């Protein structure tokens, strides 16, 4: 039987967790976002950080499993220089009970790779570059800075008596923004995880995770900074302020960003245009659903990698529907997308089938009819759909001796079973990623080699998702290098406009 939250807290207070000195380093931003609604919000937030405020802090976006984040969505975030972390893979090494999005927040802050964390809810929009907050005295003195909400916790709230705290009325916390130095606030953050593990009980007394940080600090007599100004209220939203009282961040608590509908205005009208531009870009680049392709064999995934390298195709869906079609990483269709927004290759009856999806349904089915040509149908009577590959190979062999050699044996050595025998280790995972990234600068098939070993089950489960994300990142890097090393004459074959660089970060 699960212990009550009072018992769990009492045990943790009696045996506090020790801060791991060698696990965390540097500063960064952590965001929790998954699913259509919060992914849309996170996209706007990150676009404003990068393109308006020119914020250079590394960013991690955390989510809970494949139901919240697809390969397509992860790939889009990676192009913004964002690390995507599936909490379910981290839970294997650092167990906790996460019953949903709110309990994920303290866990993501605590287990992120940064020592100093600026946490931002996905539905926030900073009005200035938020990394300036790391220099504020209110934060530097304690290692924890909280922002107040419009409401107070009442002295009559049963939480005080149940945890042996003095009843008092004090400002409730808006945990949509939080600053923490884990070296100073480790036990507090760890205790907040415990409280959120018992969300069924705790959330009957507190509104979600927000005041679990405050209660954890009070239980441990942990000093913390609190911004001394209540937020402005903007309809159903909050405008949080800095220690001087100036607007700092718009928390869109009641007006989440909508991908396909009109949106309420920003408190700073000059930011509305870049926010709308970010939404327009997302509508163009994302299907708007959490799309997962079918399970694919290693041969199918290798064919996907080949098509991604070719990228641009001539597509004819009817006599009056002829267009250029881009097949991009993450199963995303770029230029030329209409109803078809996603794609995948499957192996069926001994052959490869290229599927184009409308929503979650594979509406177009294409098979190779000859080298470089795919033929098929959308299921309608008499329909014939054609897709032709570019006539030229993406990279003429021999132009660079490195690019024609396979990294097969070297990748085999790096992914030796002995590496995984002791279980997942973040330090070794980082070293492995660095080694594979170096090979990726010398050989042109590293992503495919990694994908093949994942597909054949040679990689243990705790390592797979990280290596899968790395393979996508390696593909982007490899393709960029191959494009840059292409002889000038090839620029006349494929339009350079179809090969845009990832957004500067």
Over residues 33-76, the pLDDT tens digits come to 989 999 999 999 999 999 999 999 999 999 999 999 999 999 99
Provide the pLDDT confidence category of residue 494 given band limits of 50, 70 and 90. very low
pLDDT per residue as tens digits for the range 191-249 = 999 999 999 999 999 999 999 999 999 999 999 999 999 999 999 999 999 999 999 99
For 80-128, strand residue ranges (E) read 82-86, 116-120, 124-126
Domain with CATH 2.40.128.10 in the chain: 298-388
Q: Is the pLDDT of residue 395 over 80?
A: no
Provide the pLDDT confidence category of residue 487 given band limits of 50, 70 and 90. very low
Amino acid 266: pLDDT = 97
Mean pLDDT estimate for the chain: 88
Amino acid 480: pLDDT = 64
Provide the pLDDT confidence category of residue 406 given band limits of 50, 70 and 90. low
Provide the percentage of residues in the chain whose pLDDT is more than 70: 91
295 or 438, greater pLDDT: 295
Provide the pLDDT confidence category of residue 2 given band limits of 50, 70 and 90. low
How far apart, in whole angstroms, are the C-alpha atoms of residue 181 and residue 349?
56
Amino acid 483: pLDDT = 52
How far apart, in whole angstroms, are the C-alpha atoms of residue 230 and residue 148?
6
420 or 26, greater pLDDT: 26
Average of pLDDT values for 306-333?
A: 94
Planar angle of CA 218, 223, 228, nearest 5 degrees: 95
For 329-451, strand residue ranges (E) read 332-333, 342-348, 351-358, 361-370, 373-377, 385-388
Amino acid 396: pLDDT = 37
Amino acid 188: pLDDT = 96
Domain 298-388: which CATH number of 2.40.110.10, 3.10.290.10, 3.30.70.20, 2.40.128.10: 2.40.128.10
Quick one: 5-281 is in which CATH superfamily?
A: Spore Coat Polysaccharide Biosynthesis Protein SpsA; Chain A (3.90.550.10)
Amino acid 438: pLDDT = 83
Q: Is the pLDDT of residue 179 over 50?
A: yes
How far apart, in whole angstroms, are the C-alpha atoms of residue 209 and residue 422?
35
* C-alpha dist (Å) from residue 350 to 297, 346, 347, 362, 394: 11, 10, 7, 19, 26
Q: Is the pLDDT of residue 318 over 70?
A: yes
* C-alpha dist (Å) from residue 469 to 84, 116, 372, 472: 8, 24, 29, 5
Domain with CATH 3.90.550.10 in the chain: 5-281
State the CB neighbour count (10 A cutoff) for residue 428. Answer: 14
Provide the pLDDT confidence category of residue 499 given band limits of 50, 70 and 90. very low
Q: Is the pLDDT of residue 394 over 50?
A: no
């Amino acid at each position: 039987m699960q212990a009550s939250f009072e018992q769990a807290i009492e045990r943790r207070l009696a045996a506090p967790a020790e801060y791991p000195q060698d696990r965390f380093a540097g500063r960064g931003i952590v965001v929790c976002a998954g699913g259509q609604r919060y992914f849309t919000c996170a996209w706007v937030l990150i676009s404003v950080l990068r393109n308006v405020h020119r914020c250079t802090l590394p960013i991690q976006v955390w989510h809970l499993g494949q139901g919240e984040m697809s390969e397509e969505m992860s790939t889009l975030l990676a192009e913004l220089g964002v690390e995507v972390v599936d909490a379910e893979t981290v839970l294997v090494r650092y167990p906790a009970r996460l019953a949903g999005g709110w309990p994920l927040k303290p866990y993501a802050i605590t287990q992120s790779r940064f020592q100093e964390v600026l946490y931002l809810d996905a539905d926030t929009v900073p009005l200035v570059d938020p990394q300036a907050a790391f220099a504020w005295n209110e934060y530097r003195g304690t290692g924890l800075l909280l922002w107040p909400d419009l409401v107070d916790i009442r002295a009559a709230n049963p939480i005080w008596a149940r945890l042996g705290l003095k009843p008092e009325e004090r400002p409730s916390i808006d945990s949509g923004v939080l600053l923490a130095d884990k070296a100073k606030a480790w036990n507090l953050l760890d205790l907040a995880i415990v409280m959120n593990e018992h969300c069924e009980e705790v959330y009957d007394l507190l509104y979600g995770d927000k005041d679990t940080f405050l209660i954890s600090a009070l239980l441990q007599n942990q000093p913390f900074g609190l911004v001394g100004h209540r937020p402005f209220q903007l309809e159903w939203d909050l405008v949080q302020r800095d220690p001087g009282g100036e607007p700092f961040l718009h928390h869109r608590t009641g007006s989440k960003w909508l991908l396909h509908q009109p949106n309420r205005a920003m408190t700073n009208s000059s930011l509305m245009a870049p926010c709308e531009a970010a939404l327009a870009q997302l509508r163009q680049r994302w299907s708007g659903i959490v799309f997962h392709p079918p399970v694919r064999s290693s041969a199918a995934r290798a064919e996907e990698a080949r098509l991604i390298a070719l990228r641009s195709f001539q597509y004819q869906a009817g006599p009056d529907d002829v267009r250029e079609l881009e097949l991009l990483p993450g199963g995303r269709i770029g230029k030329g997308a209409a109803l078809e927004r996603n794609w995948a290759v499957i192996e069926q009856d001994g052959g490869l089938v290229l599927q184009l999806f409308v929503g979650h349904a594979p509406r177009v089915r294409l098979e190779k009819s000859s080298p470089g040509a795919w033929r098929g149908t959308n299921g309608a009577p008499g329909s014939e759909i054609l897709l032709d590959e570019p006539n030229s190979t993406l990279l003429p062999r021999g132009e660079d001796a490195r690019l024609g050699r396979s990294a097969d044996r070297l990748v085999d050595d790096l992914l030796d079973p002995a590496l995984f025998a002791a279980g997942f280790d973040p330090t070794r995972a980082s070293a492995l990623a660095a080694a594979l990234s170096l090979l990726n600068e010398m050989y042109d098939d590293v992503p495919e080699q990694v994908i093949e070993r994942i597909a054949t089950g040679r990689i243990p489960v705790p390592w797979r998702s990280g290596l899968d994300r790395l393979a996508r990142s390696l593909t982007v890097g490899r393709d960029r290098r191959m494009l840059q090393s292409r002889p000038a004459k090839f620029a006349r074959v494929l339009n350079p406009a179809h090969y845009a660089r990832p957004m500067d970060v």
